[in-house]
Amino acid sequence: QMQLVQSGAEVKKPGASVKVSCKASGNTFTSYHIHWVRQAPGQGLEWMGMITPGNGATYYTQKFQGRVTMTRDTSTSTVFMDLSSLRSEDTAIYYCASEKSATYYFDFWGQGTLVTVSS
């Protein structure tokens, strides 16, 4: 089964960017989609977008288009989520989650990365 290990907590100032990594192991990285989901303190889950490591294709929800970039490094089975122009409302736990191609659900989740945006 897939294991996803994310990078550690980050503290950023408003206007800065943050890059969170998600390293996959245990299954064929390139036959999955990797999704990013965030959760603000005390709030619900919010889907941000996805990347297909096999070909690098990305899909971002409209809310984050222009501010988010998802990339991958197939040599290390790692995907990255870069969020720019940070504001206080971006303070959240960011999760990566895997979807085996065309199964339409997120089967394995990373442990989450807390990003705090504060001046």
Closer to another protein by CB, 5 or 11: give it: 5
Contacting another protein (CB under 8 A), which of 18, 106, 113, 117?
106
Cβ 109 vs Cβ 53: under 8 Å: no
CA-nearest of 67, 6, 8 to 35 is 6
Looking at residues 82 to 101 of the shown chain, list those that interact with another protein (rule: CB under 8 A): 95, 97
Measured CA distances, 14 to 51, 83, 89, 118 (Å):
26, 12, 10, 6
Residues 39-78 that bind another protein (CB under 8 A): 44-47, 49, 59, 61
The CB-of-95 to another protein minimum distance in angstroms stands at 6
